[in-house]
Amino acid sequence: MAHMSNPTAEPDFKTAADLAGVLPNSATVENGHLHIAGVDMVQLARAAGTAVYVMDENHIRQQLRDYLQWTHYHWKDVDIIYAGKAFICRAMCRLVHEENCCLDVSSGGELAIALSAGFDPARIYAHGNNKTERELIECIEAGVGHIVVDSFDELDRLSALADMRGINQSVLLRVTPGIEADTHDYIKTGAEDSKFGFGLNQGLAMQAVKRAIELPGIDFEGLHMHIGSQIFALRSYAAAIEVIVGFMAQIKDECGTDVRLLDTGGGLGVAYGVPDEPSSIKDYGKVVIDDIKEQCERRGLTIPRMAVEPGRSIVANAGVTLYTVGTIKEIPGIRTYISVDGGMTDNIRTSLYGAHYEALIANKADQPRSTTATVAGKHCESGDIVVADGPIQPADIGDILCVPATGAYCQSMSSNYNKQVRPGVIWLRDGNWRWVVRRETYDDLLRCDLA
């Protein structure tokens, strides 16, 4: 399965330099310490405390620029919509704006963060299979540019809410192309049996289009699909595009309407482990944008404006998590547990999806990973594992342990289990660092506790 690389229980004798594929672009090793963006990770951990998420701002910018470059190379009119669920905070919203990209929000909370960062609502796409009435009103009243409608109930609800406010809301309809993406079951979303979107096969999507065209308060702008996440095989996209462009032709035939905007979702996979070789943004741009263009031309359709919605591939490899090694337990003949000052509260992905991560010791970054261990968290669950049986440098108490590729879906899925305070997020740029999200305190834990 593409989602997980093969964990190995063998030492691999790799140093940080060999882990370049999973680390931020700017990672280097100096005096035995891992540096990112010119900042010494060991000194940073000591100054800022651990556990902490650390992200290379220029790496994030570069990913967005690559998407812009390699989609616009094939078609001039493509929106890059950063999927905020991967990682969102005000600094991130501002960065997305500065890089001329749009933003996908999947809840009223994400919308509130974007608006408070001053993000242009016209460039926001609102998602969700069960947006509450309140969330729909928040979107309409904020002037959200595009609402991606997921069900008949929502279509009717949105129509009434927009119409009573005298607004003609731009809408994309989310369709499920019936394609099984080659990824983990939990993050497949394009198959027929899905809580998301309108299925094509039973004619539901066509019914939805006809209803959207007729309903007051709704401006049917186009279609959206998202077939899944952490996808390595670009053929899944090609297959889905064939289906959705076929549907566009059907819409043209039956309704005489052109799809003005086609949003093919996110999902491009990233490297979590050393052996992972995801497709490049360049190849993704070619497959997705060229395919849409060619198929529209073949069917005599006007080529629509396009949009893609990457989340993970923008931020995953920009980030690392730094921990301090607290205890080391060797069980002879079985395994060694290295316990760190975080765990499933800051990275649930290992226990939830069996995701694979690498580990290295930031203060021994030039040493080979000559042993193996399981990196465990500090929480009250045996499943509280960050790295299951992986190669690592021999560890000592107080070492700074670094887990790469944690920039996506770690902070955004973090929790306060065991009343752990959540780590803050530090951004690095040109040898400097700054907090963009501060570490929580015990006061934060008590903030909503009224008794």
Q: Which residues are catalytic?
A: 380
Closer residue to ligand LLP in complex, CB, 126/338: 126
Token digits of residue 138? 């928040």
Query: Which letter, b or e, does each residue of 218-243 get, where b requires 16 or more Cβ atoms within 10 Å of its Cβ?
Result: bebbbbbbbbbbbbbebebbebbbeb
- Give dist(CA 291, CA 294) in Å, integer: 5
Q: Give the footprint of ligand LLP on this chain (CB under 6 A).
A: 83, 85-86, 104, 127, 187, 226, 229-230, 265-268, 309-313, 349, 409, 413
- Provide the pairing of β-strand 371-376 with 385-392: antiparallel
Q: Which two tokens stand for residue 307?
A: 């949009």
DSSP 367: S
CB nearer ligand LLP, residue 7 or residue 266? 266
**Rounded Cα–Cα distance for residues 308 and 265 (Å):** 5
> Residue 316 and residue 1: Cα distance in Å, rounded?
19
Smallest distance, ligand LLP to C-beta of residue 126, A: 10
The span from the CA of 87 to the CA of 203, in Å, is: 35
Handedness of CA 278, 362, 415, 104 (dihedral sign): negative
Minimum separation from the CB atom of position 300 to ligand LLP (A): 29
- 8 A C-beta contact, residue 196 and residue 248: no
Residue 310 has a CB neighbour count (10 Å cut-off) of: 27
Q: How far is the CB of 17 from ligand LLP (least distance, A)?
A: 27
Token couple for 314: 């923008």
Q: What angle do CA 140, 414, 265 make, to 5 degrees?
A: 45
Q: Which CB atom, from 52 or from 88, has the smaller least distance to ligand LLP?
A: 88
What does the alpha-carbon distance between residue 423 and residue 248 come to, in Å, rounded to a whole number? 46
What gap in Å lies between CA 402 and CA 340, rounded to an integer? Answer: 10
In this complex, which beta carbon is closest to ligand LLP, that of residue 311 or of residue 404?
311
Question: What's the first-to-final CA gap in the chain, in angstroms?
Answer: 48
Element (H, E) at 389: strand 385-392
At its nearest, how many Å lie between ligand LLP and the CB of residue 447? 26
- Paired strand residues for 305: 261
Distance of CA 247 to the CA centre of its chain: 27
CB-nearer residue toward ligand LLP: 21 or 197 = 197
Peptide bond into 51 cis (omega under 30): yes
Which one, 34 or 64, has the nearer CB to ligand LLP?
A: 64
